[in-house]
A = this chain, B = another copy of it.
């Protein structure tokens, strides 16, 4: 059985590696900053989790999760996102309020509770921020990581998720009138500072590059331009 604290370290490592596509692993300081702790503390825990065979750690190297560590971390993420969905869908929390409470709820230990909750919510695929909810087998599907910042002028794309879950950013997104699944029309982009003008539901807004980098989108217009079939291992 993992402690509340150990679960948080595993989750942090998952976010710092797999989710960010950072294949080499996370550094001790990086981990400490992410968890709001001192590097010395993170260092102790990395050694402890290595002992438990949940983390691969070598002195002065980058750390990453073992298969077992990743499984456990994914389960914490699954619980986090199911609870966020519950709070949002059933208890009418705003999307900028769910994360904080889910940080606590994700540590409740009861297989049955998670499965029943999943069922009660109708086996949702995504949480209120558009993030994929891992399935009961602990598998986490990856999704488009393309951001609005990379979108082409004149294309119409769909907002699928937000990258930053901080309440301040989410409230700002609300203010702009953007919601998951909305269609965004990119009207223009200033070459100097990448300031974009967009239109959503008939409303025009100017958004900074920092803002645009935190909106994950998918775009049919782009997909048509690219070849549809990525024939990996086609030969052989």
- Is A92 an interface residue, CB under 8 A from the partner? yes
Let me know if A93 and B116 touch, CB within 8 A: yes
Q: Which residues from B are CB-within-8-Å of A120?
A: 90-91
Q: Which residues from B are CB-within-8-Å of A110?
A: 100-101, 104
Neighbour of A87 across the interface among B104, B109, B113, CB < 8 A: B113
Cα(A167)–Cα(B116), bound, Å: 19
Count of chain copies: 2
Neighbour of A116 across the interface among B92, B105, B109, B112, CB < 8 A: B92
Using an 8 Å CB-CB cutoff, how does the interface string of A79-123 with B read, 1 for contact, 0 for none?
000000001001111000100110011001110110011001000
* Interface residue count on the A side (C-beta < 8 Å): 18
Tell me the minimal C-beta distance from A88 to chain B in angstroms. Answer: 11
Neighbour of A104 across the interface among B90, B91, B109, CB < 8 A: B109
Q: Which residues from B are CB-within-8-Å of A109?
A: 104
Cα(A120)–Cα(B89), bound, Å: 11
Tell me the minimal C-beta distance from A137 to chain B in angstroms. Answer: 21
Cα(A101)–Cα(B111), bound, Å: 10
Nearest-CB residue, chain B, relative to A120: B91
Neighbour of A97 across the interface among B87, B93, B100, B112, CB < 8 A: B112
Let me know if B104 and A108 touch, CB within 8 A: yes
Q: Which residues from B are CB-within-8-Å of A104?
A: 108-110
Q: Which residues from B are CB-within-8-Å of A91?
A: 113, 116-117, 120
Let me know if A112 and B90 touch, CB within 8 A: no
Q: List A residues at the B interface (Cβ < 8 Å).
A: 87, 90-93, 97, 100-101, 104-105, 108-110, 112-113, 116-117, 120
**A87-B116, A93-B116, A105-B108 given. 17 additional CB < 8 A pairs?**
A87-B113, A90-B120, A91-B113, A91-B116, A91-B117, A91-B120, A92-B116, A93-B112, A97-B112, A100-B110, A101-B108, A101-B110, A101-B112, A101-B113, A104-B108, A104-B109, A104-B110
The 10 residue pairs across chains A and B that have the minimum distance between CB atoms: A91-B116, A101-B110, A104-B108, A101-B113, A91-B120, A105-B108, A90-B120, A104-B109, A91-B117, A92-B116
